[in-house]
Structure 1
Amino acid sequence: MTDTPNSFEIFLSTPPGLEALLLNEVKAAGFSRAKATGGGVTIWGGWHDVWRANLTLRGPSKVLARIGEFRAFHLAQLDKRARKFPWGATLTPGHSVKVEVVTNRKSKIYHAGAAIERLERAIAEEFGATIASSVTTADIIIKARIDDNNVQLSVDTSGEGLHKRGHKQAMGKAPMRETMAALALRGCGYTGHEPVVDPMCGSGTFLIEAAEIARNMMAGRARHFAFEKLVSYDADAVQAIKDGWQRRETTAQFYGSDRNVNVIGFAKDNAARAGVDDICHFAPTALSHAVPPDGPKGLVMVNPPYGARIGKKKDLFALYSSFGNVMRDRFSGWRIGMITADTQLAEATKLPWKPTGAPIAHGGLKVRLYVTGVL
C-alpha cells in the first residue's frame, strides 16, 4: 500500500509495553509506513485505512487520525488560529465535541486547561458545535498535543475503546481487556491454528479472542465507531470492507475452566454473543483437576490473580506452584503463556520461562507476559 496525496498520520494507541506486538500485527495487516512509538504505532493512510484499522485490527486501544496542525506561542495566538481552523472539514453538525490537551515543557503554552478552553470556545463559536461536559458524554473527541509550540490536532475515530467488541456483557473480577488478550496471544506465537486452554478463564476473554482469531472474525463487526459521525464517513465503503472480509473454517477447539461457577456462566453467555460458543467449552473445574483435552496440543494461556489485584500475595504462592505442577505433570507437549505482575509468583511455578519483554501498563500496574517453549 502506498501513500497518496490524501495520506495523513494515523496513530494506533496501546498500553506502553505492547508497542512491539501491535507493530507486528499492523505490519502483517499491510498498513503503510508502520512505526512503533511511545504508547502505540503510527501509520500513514487515508480514511479507508482508518475504517479498516478500527474494524479489523485486534490490538489497538484507539485509532486517532491527524486532522491538522499550526504553530502557537501563546494563548491569544492559539485562540486566533483555532478560529481559522477548518473544523467543518472533519466535524459534522449536530454532534457534541470535547477537547483533550497534552502539553510539554518545550511549549510556551503549558496550561492544558486554558488551552482546552480556547479550543472548545473556537469550535463552539466558529463551527457551532455543542461542547460536551466530559469525554464520556461526547460524540466526538478532539485530541490536541502541544509539542515545541506546535499544536497537533487529531480526532478519536474509535469512540469507545476498541476492547469493547460488543459481546462481553458479563465479567468477573479484574477482567483482561480483549485488545491486550489479542496481543498476548500474538506474543505467545498463537496464529489461530491450534487449541487453547485456560484453566483460570474467568469470563472467557482469552478463549473467545482466540476462537475469533481462529475463525478470522472481524474484531469490530458488532459495534459502532465515532468515525460514523465525521464528514469523511462513507457508509457504503465501510460496508464494503465488512462484506469483503473472509471468515475461515477451523477445527481448533477452546477450553476454559474456573472454580467460580458464576463466571463460567458469564463465559458461556459471552461466547454465545460472539458467535463462537460451538467451539468454546467451559466447565466449573478446580485448577487441581485441570487436564488437557483430547486431540492436538497447543497453548495454555492464563491471567491468574496477582496480589495487588485480587487477594493477598502470600496466599497466591500455593496457587502458582499448583499451576506449575499441573502444567509439568499433565501438559507435556503444550506451550504456556501467563500474564502476572509479580516475578516471584511467576518463578513459583518453576516453569521454564523465556526472558520476558518490556513491562506492560495494565490497570495502574506493571505486568509482564511470560512464555515457555513446548514443555
Structure 2
Amino acid sequence: MEQDRDFEIFLATVPGLEPVLYDEIRLKGFKSPAVTPGGVTIRGGWPEVWRANLWVRGASKVLARLKTFRVVHLAQLDRLARQMAWGEILRADVPFRVEAVCAGSRIYHAGAAAERITTAISETLGATAAPDAQVVVMARIERNSCTISIDTSGDLLHRRGYKQAVNRAPMRETMAALFLRQCGYDGSEPVLDPMCGSGTFVIEAAEIAARLNPGRSRHFAFELFANFDAAAWQRMRDVKSQRIPSARFYGSDRDAGAVSMSEANAQRAGVGDYTEFHCRTISELTPPAGPAGLVIVNPPYGTRIGERDALFPLYRALGQVLLKRFTGWRAGLVTADTALAHATELPFLPNTAPVPHGGLRVSLFQTGPLPQPPA
C-alpha cells in the first residue's frame, strides 16, 4: 500500500443524483471531481477523506481506494492481498471485516474472495476478523480488475447524530440535501415543509443556511485507523464557519407528535433558534411573513391501490393552497406517483428522472415562482 498522498476517493450517493452531488463537491473545492456511476470521485490524501466526511451533505459513504490490480484466480488474489501494507491503515488491535462484490470476472464467488482477503489481513497483520466490525475493507472485482477500498465513514452519513426519533419512512438527510440543491436552494431564503414528519427538510435547510458541517456531531470509522491523527482531526473540526441565517425555516404537520419530534430534533441539531414548527392541516397553511422562498414536501405516496386513491384529495388540496396563497414561492414535491403529483395542478417544470428511495422510485417535481392567482 503506497504512502502516496494523492489517491482516489469515492463519495457514494443515490444512483441518479450523482450530478447534484458533483455540484456540491465542486463548490466545496475538492480536487478533480468526476461523476461516476453511483457517486463522485475526487483526488486527495487522508485530510481530504476526513474533510469529505465532515463537510459533504449529499454523500452516503466516503471510500478510500487503496489499490487496483488485475486478478484472474483466487491464489493470485491471496498473493496480491498479502503484498499490501495493511499495517499502514489497519490496527492489529481493531477488528475488521471484508466485503466483496464480483461482476464479469473469472473470480465469481464473492464469499471466497472476501475469505482470501480476510485471511491475508489476519495472517500478515495479526488483526481479528469480526462480522460486526466497524472497520470494513471492500473489494470490487469487475472484469478481472480488483479495487481494494476501505470504508472511512462507518455508519451511513445521513446519520448526522441529532435524530433520536423519526417518523415512518423518513427522508434521509443526504437525499434531502440533494433535493434542496436541485431546487436551487443556497441557504439565503426561507423554506417551509407542510408535512414535516421528523423535520428533515427544515433542519437540513437551516443547517445549510447556518453553515454547520453535517458531520460535526458524530464519529467515523477512520478514527479507528492506524494512520489517524487525532490532533489534526480536532483542529479540522474546530474550524468554525457558522453564521446566523438571514431567513427562517418552517415546518408543519397535522400530527402533534411529529411537530414535537421535529422541535426536539432541531434543538439537538443546534438550529432551534432558526426553526418553527406548528400543528396545522394543509387547509390551514399560510405563508410566513417576509420574502417568498421554497416550499418542499415529501407527502405520502400510497403504495397500495386503495391507499393511493385516498391520497388524491390531499394532493389536490395542497396544490390549491399553494396556488392561492403562495404567490412568488417555488415548490418542490417528492413522490413516487406522477398522477398524484399532477393532481396538485401545480405548473411543474420538466421533472428529473426517478431515483430509488425506500424500496420505491421517486421523482422531484418542482416549479418556478408560483404566479398570482386569477382575480
- TM-score range (shorter-chain normalised) is over 0.9
Question: Using the alignment, how far apart are the partners of 1:178 and 1:374 within structure 2?
Answer: 25
User: For residues 293-319 of structure 1, what are the alpha-carbon distances to aligned partners after superposition, in whole Å with 9 as ceiling and x for unaligned?
Assistant: 011110001000101289811111111
Alpha-carbon distance in structure 2 between the residues aligned to 1:129 and 1:367: 42
Shift of 1:185: 0.4
The equivalent position to 1:237 in structure 2, one of 218, 232, 236, is 232
Structure 1 residue identity aligned to 2:163: K
State how 1:303-342 maps to structure 2 within 5 Å: 303-308=298-303, 312-342=307-337
Corresponding residue number in structure 2 for 1:192 = 187
The Cα offsets for residues 267-296 of structure 1, whole Å up to 9 and x where unpaired, read as: 011001001111111111111111100111
Residue 131 (structure 1) shift: 1.1
1:253 corresponds in structure 2 to 248
Q: Does structure 2 conserve the Cα–Cα contact (< 8 Å) formed by 1:174 and 1:309?
A: no
The answer to whether 1:223 aligns with 2:236 is: no
Q: Which residue of 2 aligns with 1:108?
A: 106
Change (3 A) 1:360 1:171: same
Secondary structure of 1:184 counterpart = helix
- Following superposition, the deviation at residue 150 of structure 1 comes to 1.8
CA deviation after TM superposition for structure 1 residue 243, in Å: 2.1
Q: C-alpha distance in 2, partners of 1:367/1:83?
A: 44
1:180 alignment partner in structure 2:
175
Q: Which amino acid aligns with 1:78?
A: L
Number of residues of Structure 1 aligned to a counterpart in Structure 2: 368
Shift of 1:231: 2.0
Distance 1:96 1:303 in 2: 40
Shift of 1:358: 2.2
Offset, 1:58: 0.6
Task: Return the alpha-carbon distance in structure 2 between the equivalents of residues 154 and 356 of structure 1.
Answer: 35
Q: Does 1:124 align with 2:119?
A: no
Higher deviation after alignment, 226-235 or 200-209: 226-235
2 CA distance for matches of 1:139 and 1:198?
35
Query: Percent of counterpart pairs with the same letter?
Result: 55
Q: Which amino acid aligns with 2:14?
A: P
Q: Does 1:265 align with 2:282?
A: no
Structure 1 position 66 matched with structure 2 position 65:
yes
Report if aligned partners of 2:245, 2:274 keep a CA contact under 8 Å in 1. no
* Change in CA separation of 1:115 and 1:309 when aligned onto 2, cut-off 3 Å: farther
Residue type of the partner of 1:317? F
Match of residue 373 from structure 2: none
Pair 1:79-2:78 in alignment: yes
Q: 1:347 to 1:187 in 2, by over 3 A?
A: same
Q: 4+ residue runs of structure 1 moved beyond 6 angstroms?
A: none
Give, in whole Å, the separation in 1 of the partners of 2:306 and 2:294. Answer: 26
In the alignment, structure 2 segments of 5+ residues that lack a partner are: 371-375
The aligned amino acid for 2:77 is L
Distance 2:258 2:358 in 1: 20
Q: How far apart are the structure 2 equivalents of 1:175 and 1:307?
A: 15
The alignment partner of 2:273 has SS state of coil
- Say whether the 8 Å CA contact 2:192–2:295 is kept in structure 1: yes
In the alignment, the residues of structure 1 paired with residue 116 and residue 153 of structure 2 have an alpha-carbon distance, to the nearest angstrom, of 24
5+ long unaligned stretches in structure 1: none
Q: Which moved more, 1:313-322 or 1:80-89?
A: 80-89
SS at match of 1:312: helix
Q: Which of 283, 287, 295 is residue 282 of structure 2 equivalent to?
A: 287
2: CA distance, partners of 1:311 / 1:373: 32
Q: Per-residue displacement from partner, 1:152-206 (whole Å, max 9, x unpaired)?
A: 1000000000000000111111101000001100000000011111110001000
- State the partner residue of 1:23: 22
SS of equivalent residue, structure 1 residue 316? helix
- Deviation track 1:68-101 (CA, whole Å, cap 9, x = no partner) reads 1222211111122222221111111211111111
Q: Work out the CA distance in 2 between the residues paired with 1:82 and 1:37.
A: 26
With structure 2 as the length reference, what TM-score do the two structures score?
Answer: 0.96
Q: Distance in 2 between matches of 1:238 and 1:310?
A: 51
Looking at structure 2, the residues matched to 297 and 179 of structure 1 have their Cα atoms a distance apart, in angstroms, of 25
The separation in 2 between residues aligned to 1:245 and 1:273, in whole angstroms, is 18
RMSD: 1.4
- Aligned partner of 2:6 in structure 1 is 7
- Counterpart CA distance in 1 for 2:191 and 2:362 is 21
- Partner residue, 1:91: 90
User: In 2, Cα distance between the equivalents of 1:16 and 1:358?
Assistant: 10
Match of residue 39 from structure 2: 40
CA distance, structure 1, for counterparts of residue 289 and residue 114 of structure 2: 58
Query: Which of these residues, 340, 347, 350, is aligned with residue 345 of structure 1?
Result: 340
* Preserved CA contact (<8 Å) 1:67 1:90: no
SS at match of 2:127: coil
